[in-house]
Structure 1
Amino acid sequence: MDSNRREFLKKASLLSSVAITLPTINSHAFAGAARFNMSGYAAPKIEKVRVAVIGLGMRGPGAVDRLSYIEGADIVALCDKHADRVAKAQRILTNKGLAEAKSYSGEDGWQQLLKEVEVDLVYICTPWPYHAPMAIAAMKAGAHAACEVPIGLTLKECWDVVKTSEETKKHCMMLENCCYDFFEMLTLNMVRQGLFGELVHAEGAYIHDLLSLNFDKNGYDNMWRLRENIKMNGNLYPTHGIGPIAQCLNINRGDRMTHLVAMQSNDFMMANKASELAAQDSFFQEFVGKKYRGNMDTTLIKTEKGKTMMVQHDVTSPRPYSRIHLLSGTKAYAQKYPKEGIAFGHSFIKEDELKALYDKYTPELIKYIGEQAKQVGGHGGMDFMMDWRLIDCLRNGLPLDQDVYDGASWSAIVPLSCESVAKNSKTVAIPDFTNGAWQSNKPHDLTLNGGGNTGIRPKVSKEQKNQLKVE
């Protein structure tokens, strides 16, 4: 082979490798007129927030419960593919003396709802594939969207959600409840107050043994979550782990994620489980012989400013629940699992010192609504704090804690990790959904910032608490 041909093949090989990665990032970016920046955007105040809840299976009924306790939030419509679920959710309202919402059911019921009912906020609790289409349709119908995680399963969906939010000037908040857990909010405030010095590295995870639930015939509707574990091979649920640490690192507000590498084990659990169940019940024969996603995914991320992040996903191994939530700075270190701790050197500080830090750095939101959040519930209260804060921001015309760029960039880890795994852990670039605005966007305000003065306080008696039980 002559030297010219060798040089040609070398260049062709380089061009081929570039062609694989670049279109993934740029093919769905939108050009043309100047884009509107939704970071820090304060929508007009809404005195009474009319809410429609779509999806009343696993998470939806709990959302109806929580929202019903927030003054200024009126649930005006309920929708699920199954009519019996809508009827059960209606009883959550009527048992508390609240008016019935308009009912919608069937495969296309949510589209009918958006055409017929005037709503200010669409609260989406459906299976993952519906998230982006429903959020986009809600914003185009003139409502803000609050969507369960992730906000999209593909880069195109993430870009389309961002584009629609900017064009309609409607909020699209991904309902990342872990950002409102007590230790996560505490450490975020510590970071903002300089306790950690400069953050260098952070870790998050979703390690949760869901093997039995994913194979439960009476669990996820039509076994949809198990099917997603067959379709995709990567970190399918990154946002619980990355959301809180991304806020600590000011991602999209002073820094941004630039690239990732994902490595994944083989599957040692799900295929075996399918075969084991099929031997006893022919229902599971459909799931035998499928190629399932690997058990443990470890994704490494680097930021523009040289910080690093690790995010793990494992929903099949028999191990204790953990989201890790680890922060490592130039002055201090914190971790949540297996036990909450803060360290300023080789050893964790003692309990009395830790309590003193808690007293000093507890954010205003927790002081204001934390105890009532624990009463109402929702993963220990973090769900209620998230819902209360969302409604409070909409009523007061305040920017949201999580904007559409957060939802898109955190969710993009799903398809990008799948791409990296498929390419033998090749480095994959992460899009800048902010269009460069991350350089000037400000970190979201941890104070109540004028909110909390609208009388939006839940009143939960012992009798009402007993009525919170969902059928």
Structure 2
Amino acid sequence: PGAAPVADPAAGRRRLGATMAGVPFERRSTVRVGIVGYGNRGAGMIGHFLSLPGVRVNAVCDPVRDKAEKAAAAVAAAGQPAPAVYANGENDFEKLCARTDLDLVYVATPWETHFPIARAAMLGGKHVGVECPVAMRLDELWELVDLSEQTRRHCMQLENCCYGRNEMRVLRMAHAGRFGRLLHGAGAYNHDLRALMFSPTYYEGPWRRRWHTQLKGDLYPNHGFGPVAMYMDINRGDRAVSISSFGTPALGLAEYRREHVPSGDPSWKETYVGSDRTISLVQTALGRVIRLEHDVSTPHPYSRVNSLGGTRGVFEDYPARIYLEPDHTDDQWADFSAYAAEFDHWLWKEHADPPGAHGGMDYLMVYRLMQCMRLGLPPDFDVYDAATWTAPVPLSHASINAQGAPQEIPDFTRGAWQRARSGVDSVKPA
């Protein structure tokens, strides 16, 4: 997209299938999973699928055969039958998606491949869970929405940060009215990735760094946007209406390259345009404001910001602190852990010390998804959330090119956002 506002590819287009909001999965005793992508993320996540009862990994796919075979070995080591292996080129995922013995395709591949794999999965009759972001273009987001409605398959952005302990506690407190009437929130992905993006081994090729040569906006909004959207019931009583974005010059990656990368490295042919820091303001239909930030190119301690404010007080994370009336009256931040006993989500009470990386939220996300599929419950988030949380990728780029001019965020729900329904703040199944 250029400087002009991004045209909504669905303007005037009618829905071809009924809404998927609140549609339950089919109940099943065993969830049969196909895994596409066995890089850092896929390798870190496969163990969670393999550790849960009633889950079987029937197929694995990676164009790097060694990685695909390592995935298959991990399945066998967990005591499951050897899975089918797909490693014949970049498009072998299409054969995996065509299998008849899969219920869910899990996608952990470079960003530009998320859309075609999710599309193939739904056309093949599978539900699909995709790592962030679900797609990179507005027309792709609309096609995923349309396909989900037409095929009756769920397409989910697997946003692990929605299952963080702090995020789930804030969510329950917000829904209990402890923040009063909600006014503003903030989320971010501020994470110094310079060394990893120039590492010859961490990523499979330079795909992630090269996005900084193509887009100026927020490349990775989901970790910050998803939790705040859940606090505010976005697509469940409110909706994101517009986004205005601003970006700094793109200096950090070139400076890091100059100081750390040999002159003959292929990266020296790259010109970086991606803003070192983007700041976006999202307006909602109820008048609330959400601030999003993205910065992976400069020195910065890790932070997702994760803030929520209302008429009765405010929470801010990194470090976690809270101030609520009538509990606090001295203008001093208070201890957020004091609210754990009353407001921790049932998932965190049931799994007090969940295994795996990212503080256990990866495990809880997979556990909950598999629970919903086995019990025949609606997913905690759906294709409308996936599209909304990812829309800042193309729209922030367009807004920056237009000197911060607001860009319309489409109503991917086509009006269904006005109906209240549950999300991550779920009731524990009987």
Deviation, 1:64, is 0.9
* 2:66 equivalent in structure 1: 84
* 2:339 equivalent in structure 1: 357
Q: Which moved more, 1:269-278 or 1:322-331?
A: 269-278
User: Aligned with 2:242: secondary structure?
Assistant: strand
1:258 aligns with 2:241: yes
* 1:41 equivalent in structure 2: 23
Q: In 2, distance between residues paired with 1:61 and 1:43?
A: 26
* 1:417 equivalent in structure 2: 396
1:191 is matched with which residue: 167, 171, 174? 174
CA offsets 1:28-78 (integer angstroms, 9 cap, x no match) = 347345641111111221221100000001100112111101111100011
Deviation, 1:349, is 5.2
Q: CA RMSD in A?
A: 1.9
TM-score by length of 1: 0.86
Q: In 2 relative to 1, CA 265–171 (structure 1 residues): closer, same or farther, beyond 3 Å?
A: same
* 1:115 equivalent in structure 2: 98
Q: Which amino acid aligns with 1:64?
A: I
* 1:326 equivalent in structure 2: 307
Deviation, 1:267, is 1.3
Q: In 2, distance between residues paired with 1:152 and 1:331?
A: 37
Structure 2 residues not aligned, in runs of 5+: none
Q: In 2, distance between residues paired with 1:404 and 1:307?
A: 23
1:247 aligns with 2:230: yes
Q: In 2, distance between residues paired with 1:161 and 1:33?
A: 12
* 2:32 equivalent in structure 1: 50
User: Aligned with 1:300: secondary structure?
Assistant: strand
Q: In 2, distance between residues paired with 1:170 and 1:365?
A: 25
1:140 aligns with 2:132: no
User: Aligned with 2:233: secondary structure?
Assistant: coil
User: Aligned with 1:221: secondary structure?
Assistant: coil
Question: Identity over the aligned pairs, expressed in percent?
Answer: 35
Deviation, 1:339, is 3.5
CA offsets 1:190-209 (integer angstroms, 9 cap, x no match) = 01111111110001100000
* 1:175 equivalent in structure 2: 158
Q: In 1, distance between residues paired with 2:98 and 2:236?
A: 36
1:385 aligns with 2:368: no
1:206 aligns with 2:189: yes
CA offsets 1:292-341 (integer angstroms, 9 cap, x no match) = 31100000111111100100000011111000000011112111113343
Q: In 2, distance between residues paired with 1:270 and 1:64?
A: 32
Q: In 2 relative to 1, CA 342–94 (structure 1 residues): closer, same or farther, beyond 3 Å?
A: farther
2:317 is matched with which residue: 315, 327, 336? 336
1:156 aligns with 2:156: no
Q: In 2 relative to 1, CA 289–174 (structure 1 residues): closer, same or farther, beyond 3 Å?
A: closer
Q: In 2, distance between residues paired with 1:34 and 1:90?
A: 38
Deviation, 1:274, is 2.9
Deviation, 1:288, is 3.9
1:300 aligns with 2:281: yes
Q: Which amino acid aligns with 1:149?
A: C
**Contact kept? 2:32, 2:104, Cα under 8 Å:** yes
**Contact kept? 2:179, 2:324, Cα under 8 Å:** no
CA offsets 1:212-233 (integer angstroms, 9 cap, x no match) = 1011111211210001111111
User: Aligned with 1:197: secondary structure?
Assistant: coil
Q: In 1, distance between residues paired with 2:295 and 2:74?
A: 34
Which structure's CA Rg is the greater one? 1
Q: In 2, distance between residues paired with 1:87 and 1:221?
A: 16
Q: Which amino acid aligns with 1:316?
A: S
**Contact kept? 1:365, 1:448, Cα under 8 Å:** no
**Contact kept? 2:56, 2:80, Cα under 8 Å:** no
1:311 is matched with which residue: 292, 295, 314? 292
User: Aligned with 2:25: secondary structure?
Assistant: coil
Q: In 1, distance between residues paired with 2:352 and 2:427?
A: 13
Q: In 1, distance between residues paired with 2:270 and 2:66?
A: 34
**Contact kept? 2:20, 2:148, Cα under 8 Å:** yes
User: Aligned with 1:166: secondary structure?
Assistant: helix
CA offsets 1:105-139 (integer angstroms, 9 cap, x no match) = 12122112122452100000000011111111101
1:220 aligns with 2:203: yes
* 1:442 equivalent in structure 2: 421
Q: Which amino acid aligns with 1:411?
A: T
**Contact kept? 1:365, 1:447, Cα under 8 Å:** no
Q: Which amino acid aligns with 2:395?
A: L
Q: In 1, distance between residues paired with 2:44 and 2:292?
A: 27
Q: In 2 relative to 1, CA 292–217 (structure 1 residues): closer, same or farther, beyond 3 Å?
A: farther
**Contact kept? 2:97, 2:126, Cα under 8 Å:** no
Deviation, 1:444, is 2.3
Q: In 1, distance between residues paired with 2:184 and 2:337?
A: 25
User: Aligned with 1:185: secondary structure?
Assistant: helix
Q: Which moved more, 1:24-33 or 1:38-47?
A: 24-33
**Contact kept? 2:236, 2:419, Cα under 8 Å:** yes
- Aligned pair count reads 425
Deviation, 1:244, is 0.3
